[in-house]
């Protein structure tokens, strides 16, 4: 028996209908495959095709390019609803929409938009390649180099922990064209799979979000046309900062959705499990735990929605995004842990989905800006 509790936050009618559609899709189409994909460490190609058919991979892309012509807030809603069933599904859609699509929409030339936006909306998964072995929280310490030779750039280096890499048809790769000026030499390149000198390397065997691919990229004299520079040479740091700031809102949504899913499973189990002649939901101790979990989830949701709406309105949102990402990732781990405990012994087995959500929650405090980096951002605002 499943118990669904509706989020308390009020939405506009269009957004509510959009949310309801994604919720139903996630439950009916993704839900039956979650465990198998997690165990195999592989996301279903058929589900990715359905993502495109439903318009989930091009939410903000204009209709003229085959996209949905939707909003950033709808991208956030989609990530949240998918995460309540499978956070791996959510991060695939997240990277496509809030990082790659937004970067192309904002920075690409007319020719680049014509060449790539329709593919992004209809059939091509994309990947965002910034991180390296020595470039994590210090994102601009990257060592990948790009040297111009005529109408090409020659890229050399390695990228690590790159989401969607196994499925992607092209990659937004950051490399430094002028190391002497530091981060001001960082440039963004659109690199297509199959490009000479480019290959996808080792796939990571991860604790959580296992169905979402995370791989190494190898650039060995990779030849990229100058026409594939996104923005201008040296503007890569600006592209990265702006997209990651927005992406953190969606990670907050992913963690909020995960926590919502864990809460729903805990409620359903508490109503079924009997001890000493009555369901455990009838005991005040369990009721208090569920009430606390629900309050955490709704608080995180409000932070995420606030940051998303500020961004959509064109208002400053950096601090609010940091708060949303920081808090949602904290409560996701807490709520998932409490859900395991409410399930008792079976919660520690793979027979119930809460153990997977608990594993999936850990990455929220790490990727797209660690919790400590979010604290720093928040503190800087507070201290002026």
Confidence of residue 2 (pLDDT cuts 50, 70, 90): very low
Average pLDDT in the 336-355 region? 98
Which of 249, 332, 245 lies closest to 76 in space, CA to CA? 249
Confidence of residue 255 (pLDDT cuts 50, 70, 90): very high
Q: Is the pLDDT of residue 9 over 80?
A: no
Q: Which residues are 191's β-sheet partners?
A: 171
Instruction: Kindly report, residue by residue over 319-334, the tens digit of the pLDDT.
Output: 999 999 999 999 999 9
Average pLDDT in the 247-274 region? 98
Is 368 a catalytic site residue?
Answer: yes
**Domains in the chain, ordered, with CATH?**
13-124 (1.10.540.10), 127-235 (2.40.110.10), 238-383 (1.20.140.10)
* Res 1: pLDDT: 39
Q: Is the pLDDT of residue 43 over 80?
A: yes
Q: Is the pLDDT of residue 142 over 70?
A: yes
Whether the model pTM is above 0.85: yes
Average pLDDT in the 294-306 region? 98
* Res 280: pLDDT: 98
- SS3 state of residue 68: coil
- Taken as a whole, the chain contains a residue count of 384
**Would the CA dihedral through 113, 114, 116, 122 be positive or negative?**
positive
- Give percent above pLDDT 70 in the chain: 98
Q: Which of 80, 289, 355, 368 is catalytic?
A: 368
* Res 136: pLDDT: 86
CB 159 within 8 A of CB 189: no
Confidence of residue 3 (pLDDT cuts 50, 70, 90): very low
Residue the block writes with tokens 């050399």: 156
Which of left, alpha, beta for 314 (phi over 0: left; psi -120 to 50: alpha)?
A: left
**C-alpha–C-alpha distance, residues 244 and 99, integer Å:** 7
Main-chain dihedrals φ then ψ at residue 375, nearest 5 degrees: -60, -40
CB 67 within 8 A of CB 7: no
Sort strands 152-163 and 126-129 into parallel, antiparallel or unpaired.
unpaired
Q: Is the pLDDT of residue 4 over 50?
A: no
**C-alpha–C-alpha distance, residues 66 and 75, integer Å:** 16
Which of left, alpha, beta for 277 (phi over 0: left; psi -120 to 50: alpha)?
A: left
253 to 5, 52, 68, 121, 328: CA distances (angstroms): 17, 20, 20, 21, 8
Average pLDDT in the 173-200 region? 97
* Res 7: pLDDT: 57
Copy the structure tokens of residue 269.
């189990």
């Amino acid at each position: 028996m499943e118990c669904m509790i509706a989020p308390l936050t009020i939405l506009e009618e269009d957004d509510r209908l959009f949310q309801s559609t994604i919720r139903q899709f996630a439950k009916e189409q993704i839900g039956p495959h979650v465990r198998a994909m997690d165990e195999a460490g592989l996301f279903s190609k058929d589900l990715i095709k359905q993502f495109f058919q439903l318009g989930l991979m091009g939410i903000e892309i204009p209709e003229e390019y085959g996209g949905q012509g939707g909003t950033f807030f709808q991208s956030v809603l989609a990530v949240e609803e998918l995460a309540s069933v499978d956070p791996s599904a959510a991060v695939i859609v997240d990277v496509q929409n809030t990082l790659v699509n937004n970067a192309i929409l904002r920075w690409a030339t007319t020719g680049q938009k014509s060449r790539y936006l329709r593919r992004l909306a209809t059939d091509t998964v994309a990947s965002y390649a910034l991180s390296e072995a020595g470039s994590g929280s210090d994102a601009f310490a990257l060592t990948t180099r790009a040297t111009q030779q005529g109408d090409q750039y020659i890229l050399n280096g390695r990228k690590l922990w790159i989401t969607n890499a196994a499925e992607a048809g092209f990659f937004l790769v950051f490399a430094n064209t002028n190391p002497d000026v530091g981060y001001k030499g960082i440039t963004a390149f659109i690199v297509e799979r199959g490009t000479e000198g480019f290959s996808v390397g080792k796939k990571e065997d991860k604790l959580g979000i296992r169905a979402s691919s995370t791989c190494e990229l190898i650039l060995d004299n990779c030849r990229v046309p100058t026409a594939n520079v996104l923005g201008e040479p040296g503007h890569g740091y600006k592209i990265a900062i702006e997209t990651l700031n927005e992406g953190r809102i969606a990670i907050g949504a992913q963690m909020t959705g995960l926590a919502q899913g864990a809460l729903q499973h805990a409620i359903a189990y508490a109503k079924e499990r009997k001890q000493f002649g009555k369901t455990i939901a009838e005991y005040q101790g369990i009721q208090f735990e569920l009430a606390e979990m629900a309050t955490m989830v709704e608080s995180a949701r409000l932070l995420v929605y606030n940051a998303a709406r500020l961004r959509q309105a064109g208002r400053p949102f950096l601090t609010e995004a940091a708060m949303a990402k920081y808090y949602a990732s904290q409560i996701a781990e807490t709520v998932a842990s409490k859900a395991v405990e409410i399930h008792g012994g079976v919660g520690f087995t793979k027979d119930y989905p809460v153990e997977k959500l608990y594993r999936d929650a850990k990455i929220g405090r790490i990727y797209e800006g660690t919790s400590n980096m979010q604290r720093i951002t928040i503190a800087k605002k507070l201290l002026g």
